[in-house]
Amino acid sequence: MAILVPFLAGGNEAGLTKVRFMTHWSPQAQFAGYYVAREKGFYEKYGIDLEMLPSGPNYSAADYLVEGKTDIAVLWLTQAVQKRSGGAKLVNLAQMVQRSGLMLVARKSDGIVEPGDLNGEKVGIWEGDLSLQPKAFLKKYGLNVETVRQSYTVNLFLAGGVDAVSAMWYNEYHTILNSGVNPDELTTFFFSDHGLNFPEDGIYALKGTFTKNPDLFSGFVKASVEGWLYAFAHPKEAVDIVLEYMRRAKVPANRVHQMWMLERFKDLMMPGGDESALGRLDREEYERVAAMLKEAGLIVTVPDFDTFFVPAGEHAEK
């Protein structure tokens, strides 16, 4: 009888398997593909009844995954590597975001046009994993700067309190633009352009749950990829769905901002429009990220790539 009982949280009348899912941040276009796949019924197609768990700054998706409170989570690569190194048996089923959206933004009017110009200036840097790339960047160019711990807003930069500011291309950079600063007035340093690319969002599950029902996870990855491709092909509809999720989560929503974010995620997930990149994790990039984490003292050992990256979509095809 045990075989008939669905493995995870249980079945429902339609014969679907309930899967709990959680993102590492509040609803926004960064996760558009998952919302779209859910709303368009792509998950149901693969036998999945997807339950969206609440997310945001007050929830740690990584902890939820490790503690088994969610079946699947979207996590940053750096977060996941740290958890894995710390002993949690999580696996990367699909690396969704290939390119890092993290960047430094400065004003041309302050005379900053190339990395060297940052020398001696005040640079806003976020805490935690988001400080790895900027610090590596500063080290790479041998820059001596005054770092200022950066809060959630870019107002310090807008007010002139710092000369350069950390920004996500899909988020803070657009906020700066929509605070009345024109793109041609800004100098941008994308870390991915300076040999410091960090793959970002990936789909993770615990190895144990994945092994017991690989087809289910494979279906989730496939449905998610379909969701993303649909969102990119139908941005207006996708943004409508995103805004609805944001509204339900009572998160302030701005349509043009979400549209910008969706378009940037297309650039970050499929650099150069390469669809085949979706889901792949590059071994070299993984090794670089892990090495930098180790160097920063955030991990002691580098987890083995082949046991860390278990592409669920490919597994199912094999």
3-state secondary structure of 262: helix
Separation between Cα atoms, residue 241 and residue 220, nearest integer Å? 19
Pick the closer one to another protein by CB: 147 or 188: 147
Compute the distance between CA of residue 34 and CA of residue 107 in angstroms, rounded to an integer. 36
Residue 109 near another protein by CB under 8 A: no
Least CB distance from residue 112 to another protein, whole Å? 17
- Does position 307 interact with another protein (CB under 8 A)? The reply is no
User: Restricting to residues 116-145, which ones interact with another protein according to CB under 8 A?
Assistant: 122
Sorted by sequence, the CB contacts under 8 Å of residue 40 that are 6+ apart come out as: 227, 230
Query: What is the CA 213 to chain-centroid distance, rounded?
Result: 25
Show the beta-strand stretches assigned E in the chain: 17-22, 48-52, 72-76, 90-95, 102-107, 122-125, 146-149, 164-168, 186-190, 201-206
The interface mask with another protein, positions 233-262, x = CB under 8 A, is -------------------xxxxxx-----
User: Cβ distance 191 to 197 under 8 Å?
Assistant: yes
**Closest CB to another protein among residues 123, 269:** 123
By CB under 8 A, tell whether 273 contacts another protein: no
* Separation of alpha carbons 147 and 125, rounded Å: 6
Q: Which of 68, 120, 128, 160 binds another protein (CB under 8 A)?
A: 160
Site membership for another protein, residue 153 (CB under 8 A): yes
Nearer to another protein, 168 or 205 (CB): 168
Give the position of tokens 């993290």: 102
Residue closer to another protein, measured from CB, 158 or 277: 158
Q: Does 178 bind another protein (CB under 8 A)?
A: yes
Total interface residues for another protein by CB under 8 A? 23
Return the number of the residue (58 or 301) whose C-beta is nearest another protein: 58
Contact present, 51 and 18 (Cβ < 8 Å)? yes
159 binds another protein (CB under 8 A): yes
Q: Both tokens of residue 86?
A: 């710390």
Taking the complex as a whole, the smallest distance from the CB of residue 169 to another protein amounts, in Å, to: 16
Q: Which is nearer to another protein, 55 or 209 (CB)?
A: 55
CB count, 10 Å around CB of 1?
4
Asked if 151 interacts with another protein (CB under 8 A), we say yes
DSSP one-letter code for 279: B
- Chain centroid to Cα 274, Å, comes to 18
Query: What is the closest distance, in whole angstroms, from the C-beta atom of residue 176 to another protein in the complex?
Result: 9
- Under a CB-based contact definition with an 8 Å cutoff, are residues 34 and 225 in contact? no
Q: How far is the CB of 236 from another protein (least distance, A)?
A: 12
The distance of closest approach from Cβ of residue 172 to another protein in the complex, given in angstroms and rounded to an integer, is 12
Member of 145, 148, 296, 298 binding another protein (CB under 8 A): 148
Determine whether 121 is exposed, middle or buried from the number of CB atoms within 10 Å of its CB (0-12, 13-18, 19+): middle
Chain residues binding another protein by CB under 8 A are 122, 148-149, 151, 153, 155-156, 158-162, 177-180, 182, 252-257
